Amino acid sequence: MSIPAFGLGTFRLTDEAVIASVKNALELGYRVIDTAQIYGNEEAIGKALAESGVAREELFITTKIWTENLGEAKLISSLKESLRKLGTDYVDLTLIHWPSPGAEVPVAVSMQELMRAKAQGLTRQIGISNFTIPLMEQAIAAVGTENIATNQIELSPYLQNRKVVDWAKQHGIHITSYMTLAYGKALKDEVISHIAQKHNATPAQVILSWAMDEGYAVIPSSTKPENLASNLQSQTLKLDAADKAAIAGLDCNDRLVNPEGLAPKWD
């Protein structure tokens, strides 16, 4: 099993907005959908998937377990509720969304619960999100590298997270990038714009292509059909060494997602 390189994110999209986004994406050829319990949109996504007519086996669905549900008594029952909302018997990937605040639930407990969920056929793969190097070490100690499909982390041209990425690669953990466009900030960057003009591409295509070329999976979101279609084309854009070097130079550790009381001590 592996993680698809390109998919649709649904963060901050709810109700009719997420239904329209998912339906439009599926019509364009998207087959990977990323959601989470805390997004409050699993049920709406389930409706969109059911109405799309796309066969379940063609889809790759990811959800994430919220911090309140990480314990032994809650994780599997909460995942079953997510499946009910999504209208499916299983998801392809289940992640710990954030490490338990204050390590209230040890990483080992949550990872072992995910393994139980996998053994029960509720999820095909398991993984982690927003995990630092020490937290990845705990996850590996609990279930082994071979059972950790990905670590989904904030990663953009402005936050390239090299320390975490390099450690993950050395230990066989795949990286999924979220907030890859830096909330749209990177779309206005002069360096990115110059590369886009050079390739007759959009800034979003350049950034997404760069991330995939680095080996990361990407999950951009959009409510606009034209942007969904355009983002899809990033898979065929090829950047050259000068482009990659220019983007590497944009790294400035500009972290946008750092919720108080939830974020770990970042590497």
Binding residues for substrate: 97
Assess whether 39 carries a catalytic annotation.
yes
Q: How far apart are CA 264 and CA 39, in angstroms?
A: 20
Contacts of 239 (CB under 8 A, 6+ apart): 195, 199, 206, 209, 210, 213, 247
Q: Which residues carry a binding-site annotation?
A: 97
Q: Which of 30, 39, 158, 216 is catalytic?
A: 39
Q: Which amino acid appears at position 53 of this protein?
A: G
Bridge partner list, 93: 62, 125
Q: How far apart are CA 156 and CA 169, in angstroms?
A: 17
Joined together, the tokens standing for residue 206 give 């350049």
Burial 31-53 (b: 16+ CB within 10 A, else e): bbbbbbbbbebbbbbbbbbeebe
User: Which active-site residues does the annotation give?
Assistant: 39
